[in-house]
Amino acid sequence: MPRRRSSPAPSPSRAPAPPPRQTAPAPAPQHYPPAQVQPKQPGLLANMAATAGGVAAGSVI
């Protein structure tokens, strides 16, 4: 059975509205003070040596 076409779709009377524009200006990026440089800490090997030295000294005393 052939399909019957209903009345043609109404053509839009006006163009679709453009997307809303931002009226408020974008917030300015916040400037944070530079992070303080932390003193360099000993590496893993130095940390292990210090721990082993402390254990050895503790067992001697």
pLDDT of amino acid 34: 67
The mean per-residue pLDDT over the stretch 29-54 comes to 76
What string of DSSP letters covers 1-53?
-PPPP-SPPPPPSSPPPPPPPP-SPPPPPPPPPPPPPPPPPP-HHHHHHHHHH
Indicate the length of the chain as a whole number. 61
Q: Does the structure show a pLDDT above 60 at 4?
A: yes
**Between residues 36 and 13, the one the model is more confident about:** 36
pTM above 0.85, yes or no: no
